[in-house]
C-alpha cells in the first residue's frame, strides 16, 4: 500500500522537529558552553543529509510509484511539521525560560569593542543601539512566526532540489537507507 506523502512527511517531521530543537538549544547554549558550537555547526550542515535520507527511504518504499511531486510534498511537510515543533520549543524558551534573550544579545552587540574599520560590524553595532534606544526589541511570537515561515520556504526549495536529485538518480531503487 502506498503511504501518503503527507503522513510520511508528518512522521518524519516529528523526528526532524526534535533534530531542530536540539540544534537550537545547542546553538543557544554554546554561549555558555563553547564546545557545543561544533556539534551545532555539524547539525546545521547535516540538515540536507537528514532530509535526503528521509526522502530517499520514502522513495525506496514507494518503488516505481515514486514521483518528484510526492517526494517534494513529503519534504515540504517534513519542514512544515519540523519547524512548527521546533518553534514551539523556541517560543517556550523565549517566553518563559529566557525572556530577555533578544535584549541581552542586542546589548552585547551594542557594547562590543570593535575596530571602526570594520564597516559591517560598526553598522550592526549602531543598529543594535538604535533598536535598544527605540525599545523595538522583537517579541517572541514575532520571531517564532518568522522562523516557521523561513523553515517552510527554505525547506520547500531544498526539498525540490533533493526530489530532483532522487528522481534523476533513480532513487526508488533499493539501497542501504
pLDDT of amino acid 143: 94
Residue 117: C-alpha distances to residues 40, 109, 122, 126 (Å): 30, 16, 8, 14
Q: Tell me the residue length of the chain.
A: 177
pLDDT of amino acid 98: 94
Using a 10 angstrom Cβ sphere, with 0-12 exposed, 13-18 middle and 19 or more buried, the burial of residue 13 is buried
pLDDT of amino acid 112: 86
pLDDT of amino acid 146: 96
Is the pTM of the predicted complex or chain greater than 0.85?
yes
pLDDT of amino acid 121: 86
Please give the Cα distance from 80 to 17 (Å, whole number): 9
pLDDT in tens, the chain (177 residues): 778 999 999 999 999 999 999 999 999 999 899 999 999 999 999 999 999 999 999 999 998 888 999 999 999 999 999 999 999 999 999 999 999 999 999 999 899 888 777 888 889 999 999 999 999 999 999 999 999 999 999 999 999 999 999 999 876 666 554
pLDDT of amino acid 118: 82
Amino acid at each position: 500500500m502506498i503511504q501518503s506523502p503527507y503522513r510520511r512527511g508528518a512522521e518524519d517531521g516529528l523526528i526532524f522537529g526534535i533534530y531542530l530543537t536540539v540544534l537550537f538549544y545547542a546553538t543557544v547554549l554554546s554561549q555558555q558552553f563553547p564546545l557545543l558550537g561544533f556539534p551545532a555547526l555539524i547539525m546545521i550542515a547535516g540538515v540536507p543529509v537528514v532530509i535526503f535520507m528521509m526522502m530517499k527511504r520514502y522513495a525506496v518504499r514507494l518503488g516505481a510509484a515514486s514521483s518528484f511531486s510526492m517526494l517534494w510534498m513529503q519534504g515540504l511537510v517534513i519542514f512544515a511539521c519540523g519547524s512548527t515543533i521546533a518553534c514551539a520549543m523556541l517560543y517556550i524558551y523565549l517566553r518563559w525560560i529566557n525572556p530577555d534573550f533578544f535584549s541581552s544579545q542586542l546589548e552585547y552587540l551594542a557594547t562590543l569593542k570593535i575596530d571602526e574599520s570594520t564597516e559591517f560590524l560598526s553598522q550592526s553595532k549602531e543598529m543594535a543601539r538604535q533598536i535598544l534606544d527605540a525599545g523595538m526589541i522583537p517579541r517572541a511570537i514575532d520571531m517564532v512566526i518568522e522562523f516557521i515561515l523561513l523553515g517552510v520556504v527554505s525547506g520547500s526549495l531544498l526539498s525540490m532540489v533533493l526530489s530532483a536529485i532522487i528522481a534523476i538518480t533513480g532513487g526508488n531503487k533499493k539501497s542501504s537507507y
